Structure 1
Amino acid sequence: MDSHPQNTSDDDDDVEHVYIVSSPEASSEEEGWNLPAPDANADDAVAVLRGHSSAVYAVAITGQDEVVISGGGDDRALVWVQPFSEAPRLLGDFHDSVSAVALTGSRLALGTLAGELQVHCTQQLTERTEGEQLAPPLAQVETDVGIECLRGNSEFFAAGTADGALWVLDALSGDCLGVAYNHQGAINSLAFVQDDTNVSTTSLLVTASTDGTVRLWGPPSHGTVPCLYAMDGVFHDAPVLSLASFRDVVLSGDEAGRSFLANWRTGRVLCPLSQQHQGSVESVVASSEFLVTGGSDGFLHVYTPDARYRMSFQHRDVVVVVRETKRWSQCFVSASVDQTVCLWDLRSGAEPVRCWRGHCDAILTMDIGTELIVTGSDDATVRCFPLQ
C-alpha cells in the first residue's frame, strides 16, 4: 500500500509520517542487514522533478515513459513530459492532498483527501491550453470523504474511501456507475481480478478494509456495486492494509503482520503465509512466479505461487511499495523509507541486484514504466531511476 497522509489537519505541511518499527540502525550488523549505509551524496536518478512544495503521495507513469503524473500534500497534481526539461504543467488545484492516481491506456484518474475524483484524457496531458494549466477533466465526482486507494482497467476506475465506500466510474466518460457501502471501515487497498484465461472476469474486483475483511465485487449495475461475498475461513483479525490478485488467488496483508492467500472464485481462505512480519504488511505482490510481502519491519518475504516459503530480503527501514517487473519474471522492485529503491532477483541470493539512491527523505510511493522507475518522497521531489 502506498503511504498516504491522514486527513487530520487543514494544513498539509503539518502532516507527519509515523512508522512504528524496531530500530535497524541500532542493530544492523548483528541482524545482517544487506544494504550499505545511505550515501547522502549519491543520486542515481536520471531526472529529478521539482515542483511540489510538500510531500509527494502519489505518482504514475504512462506505459511508454512519456508522461509522469504526481500528486502531493500541496493540494496539486503536476504533469511532466519527456524529456522532463520543461517546468511541470498544473493538472489541478484541489481542496486537500492528492492521495491517489491511476492510469489506463487512454485515461487518468486522481483522488484527493477532500473526496474529489477526477478523470482526464491522457492525450490532453501533453497539450497546453492558455497558461500553464491543462485542459479541464472529462468528469469530476465528489465523494465528500478522502480517497484511500484508486485503480483502473480498460472498463472502470474504482476508488475506496476512508468511510468504507466503494465508488466505480466509467473509464472512458468518468461517469459514476455505482457506489457500495458494505465495508464497516476504510478501504485501504483494491485490485481488479487478473485472469488471463477468462476475459469475463476482468470487471470483478477485490477490496481490503480496516474492518478486517476482503470482499469480491461484481460489475456495477443500476447505481450500485454488488458485493458477491467476503472471503470466509480462518482469516485476518486486524485491519487489512494491502492486497494483490493474480488468476484465482488473492494475497492480503494486515496491520498485525500476517498475510493470507484466498481463492476469489470460491471465497475460501486457502492458508496463512508462514512468515509473520514484526509490524504491518505494507505492500504485497502476487504473480505467476512468486508471492512477496513487504513490511514495516523492513523485511521482504518471498514465496512460491502455492505459498511455500523461499527466502527473505531486507531494507534498513519500512518497505512502502513492492512491484513486479514486466521485463524480468524472476525479479521485483521495492521502495523504502530508507530512501532506496532496490531490484531483487530470486536467483541471485540476499543482495539486491541494483540499489538506487537520491532522495533525502522517506520514499512514499512508486510506479514502474517500461524503462523508468518513478518515486515520490517526503523531500517534495519526484525522481526517475533507470530500470536496467
Structure 2
Amino acid sequence: MVKLPKQTLLAVLKIALVSTSLPLIVTSLSLLHPSTKQVNSLVFAKVNTQPNPQPTASLEPKKTSQPTEQKTQEKSENSDDEKGWEGWLILIPVLAGLYLGILWFRPLWLLVLPAEFNIPKTPITPEVKLPVGILRFLKYRPRVLDAWVEKHLETFQQKFLENETVEERKDYVSLPVELNSQEIDELTAETLSEPFNREKRVRLLIWGEGGSGKTTIACQIAKWAMKKQHQSKALAKHLMLPVLIEKEIDNTGDGIKPIMEAIMAEIQELIDNEQMIVDELLVKQLLRQRRILLIVDRYSEMSQATQEKFNPDPKEFPANALIVTSRIEEDFRGIDIKIKTLRFDGGKLAYFIEQYLKECSKWHLFEADQEEFLQECAQLARIVGEQKTITVLLAKLYAEKMINSQENNFTSEG
C-alpha cells in the first residue's frame, strides 16, 4: 500500500476536523454576530423613532424614495446570506463524511493531528482556533485508541510475558479467594468481566500475606485483558495493554508527573521501537479510557513517597483500570474491588498440585502411577494437618520437588 506524504495526510485530517467543528463554529458566530438584516432592522427602527421636522414641499420626493431603497438593499443582503448558508449546508455533510470515513477506515491517521489547530479563514468566517476539548474529542475517539492498542498488542504480549516476574508466575491455578468479603471457589475471567464491561472505572486491590499468590493473580488478569472479545476468557469488550510497575519511581515533580514518566518509560520499552516517541497526551487518554491496565505490584513494600504517588484517591490520578497488590488491606477510597488471597487445607492440595503439573506440562510424569502421586500429596497434608495452613508458594515448592524427584528417577532408570 502506498503511503501518503505526511503533509498531504495532515491536510486531509485538517479538512475532516473542519467538517465536524463547522456546526459549532457557525452556531457560535451566529450568536456573536447578528445578521445584516437584524442590524438594519434595528437601525431602521431607531431612525423611525427619532422626531422628524415638518416636511417641506421640496423634500417630499426624497422621503417617498427612501423605503424603496431600503427594501432593495435588504433583499440583496438576504440573497447573499441565503447563498452562504446553502454553501455551508452542502459543505458540512461532505466534510463530516470525510472525517467519519477516516475514523472508520484509517483511525490512526487522526493521531497525526497537532495539539493545537486553527481553522483557516473563509470568505464568510474568520480564522478560528479549535477549542482543545473539541480537538481531543475528535482525535482520541475509542475507535482510534482501540486501533493503537491493536497495532501494539503482539509486541506488548511478547515483552510482558518475557518479564521475569511474569515468567515466574506463568502457571496459574485458580483457588478460593474472598471477592469483596465473600468467599468464592475460584477467580475466573468471567467473574471479573461484569464490572470491567459495566463500569467506567475498575480499580482492584489484591491483598494477602506473602507467598499467597497476589502477583500471580494480577499477572493472570493482565493476560485475560489482552484477549479479544471473541476469544475465551476475555476480560472486557475491548483490549487492554498491561503496564507493570514494581520498582521505586523518581519522585521529583508535582502531581501526576512522576507517575506519567514511569508509565511512559515502561510503554516505550514494551513498544520496542526507538523511532517512535510515546505521546503523553495519548497515554493519558489510554489510561482514562481503560485501554491501559496499570499494575502496581508490592505496594506495601514501596517507600512512603512512592506510595503517595500511586495512591488512587486523588481525582487527578490518571488510571481508570488499576490493579494494586499489597500485603495489607490498604485503606483506599478509590478502590472498587477487593480480592483477598486465602490459604487452603490438605484436602485441596492434591487438586492444586495436579492442576499445576498440567499447567507446566509435567503431568505425564505422574499419570502412569497416580497412586504414588496421591501418597506424596498426602504426606504433605499430614504435615500441615486439616487446618488451612498451605500457601500457594508452599504448594508450588512442594510440586517442584516432586517434579525434580520424578525426573531424576526417569534419568536413573534410563
With structure 2 as the length reference, what TM-score do the two structures score? 0.18
With structure 1 as the length reference, what TM-score do the two structures score? 0.19
- When Rg is computed on C-alpha atoms for both structures, the one with the higher figure is 2
Which structure has greater strand proportion?
1
Which structure has greater helix proportion?
2
